[in-house]
Amino acid sequence: MPHAAAWAELEAAARRDAGARIQDQFAADPDRLARLTLEAAGLHIDLSKQSWARAGLDAALALARACDVEGRRAALFNGEAVNLTEGRAVLHPALRAANGADFHALGEPVSAEVEAVRAEMKTYAEAVRSGNETGATGRAIRTVLHIGIGGSDLGPRLIWDALRPLDPAIDLRFVANIDPRDMAEALIGLEPETTLVVVVSKTFTTQETLTNAEAAKAWLAAALPAEGMARHFIGVTAAPDKATAFGCGRTFAFRDWVGGRYSLWSAVSLSCVIGLGWEAFLEFLDGAAALDRHFLEAPLERNGPVLMALADIYNVDGLNRPARSVAPYAHALRRLPAFLQQLEMESNGKRVRRDGSPVGRQTCPVVFGEPGSNGQHAFFQQLHQGPQVVPLDFVIVGRTCEDASSTPLWANALAQAQALMQGKTEGQARAELLASGASEAEADRLAPHKTFPGDRPSTTILMEALTPRSLGALIALYEHKTFVEGVLWDINSFDQWGVELGKALAKAVLKDVEAGAPSSDLDPSTADLLRRLTA
């Protein structure tokens, strides 16, 4: 097993730490807060409430060095074939680098191409926003209908939810689900003459996206002159010929070294550029580029993505905690948990190493979450008093709204993190009950129910305000964290073969539906369900 000694030391340290309470570590290690808090591209990251003692952190850092995180990081930024199953470079950092950068994908220079596409995006978006680029009848665009799925949807949707003006001059609607209800809801109140459809698909063959694009095309065709239809249809793709054949009047390209879940830095976010303006998008790119520099330059022991990855590894593999919750305390970040589900679980939900051999340990945790404080009134009960320990990421925004105080919101976040760590003993609970007037018998009966085990770890990411720059830094932080975890597990974080089997079988099932009966290849359960649905 690669790096077996380093893994063994980490697991031994985790076993030792399992018997020590997090709260007690602050007294045992007076430098703990200083060592485990850091600044990265405008984000304040606090890992001091994680489960590791000093020796545990040292073992985790030793594992990172044994797995050559620094060398693999260099390979990523140098454009080497880090996606080895598909023979591709992975160069999302090139998409947010400043003009004049010199990135190469497998030796091919790509930065000039990135800059050219950015210039096209800026020119087109500004033309739409100013009204110089109009629809078929000469009316200005008032709504962009963004059609995609997975990485072609979740990233732009997160950006728009996080940064949209309260009353935007150009609104964005998103359609991803193949359920016709999704499209029907998105089209309510829209006028074809003032609607621009942006279809995002890397291959322009994705079934869900093309089905929805056909529905949008039919909606436009019912109201617009045929010769002007193309002005309302934009394709964003790595297959521009297919987009043009579909009816897109204009296409914006991105390359195959841009993975779907890492593509929001590219023309995939053209809709957001139109809705927010170029300057906001440029600040978003700059925030991510600043985090890239931090990831490249900070030593491992002061490196935000590295330490966050090590905390995950420590919990998942060292302490057998196979789930993690993400709680953004900002309504505008409500899509962050869903975005991270794809980023992390599609990247690192793997069972074999890069050489094809079994991993032999847990890899990516199950990621789930809801915005605070909503989640407190839902699944936080399980986090506080359930038998499983589920680590949390708290993402706190100091000012979420210009016209109202966010203090009650972030005060709740701080209190939840504190309560998860401290807990409440049965003796404390009993004393509180007696102080409130309960009898001895009643205090004895209720105290176990009011006991909190505590010692539940969390990481807190704090930003002053949710700006394009801080959002870019936050997303890049999680991207690089995900990459580091893949290095430590020795897996390929950049393919996603797990989605292919279901897609292939869906095509076969659709053929059976069209034939009016299940084929002999179907299992009895699937065949029976198909008959019921087609009856």
Task: Return the active site residues.
Answer: 346, 377, 503
CA 251/CA 244 separation, integer angstroms: 7
* CB 239, CB 203: distance < 8 Å: yes
Nearest CA-CA partner of 258 in 123, 103, 367: 103
Nearest CA-CA partner of 417 in 384, 370, 450, 374: 384
CA 340/CA 475 separation, integer angstroms: 9
CA 209/CA 214 separation, integer angstroms: 9
Q: Per-residue DSSP letters for 454-512?
A: ----EEEEEEEE--HHHHHHHHHHHHHHHHHHHHHHT--TT--GGGHHHHHHHHHHHHH
Strand partners, 172: 144
Tokens 């993190």 identify what position? 417
Burial environment of residue 198 by CB neighbours within 10 A (0 to 12, 13 to 18, 19 or more):
buried
User: What is residue 330's DSSP assignment?
Assistant: S
* CB 322, CB 452: distance < 8 Å: no
Nearest CA-CA partner of 286 in 114, 39, 469: 469
CA 89/CA 91 separation, integer angstroms: 6
**Residues near 28 by beta carbon (within 8 Å), at least 6 away in sequence:** 20, 53
| C-alpha count within 13 angstroms, C-beta hemisphere, residue 257 | 27
Peptide bond into 436 cis (omega under 30): no
- Do strands 458-465 and 43-46 pair parallel, antiparallel, or not at all (unpaired)? antiparallel
Tokens of 108: 């091919």
User: What is residue 56's DSSP assignment?
Assistant: H
Burial environment of residue 98 by CB neighbours within 10 A (0 to 12, 13 to 18, 19 or more):
exposed
| C-alpha count within 13 angstroms, C-beta hemisphere, residue 28 | 12
Tokens 């000694």 identify what position? 5
CA 393/CA 40 separation, integer angstroms: 16
CA 275 remoteness from chain centre: 21
* CB 323, CB 388: distance < 8 Å: yes
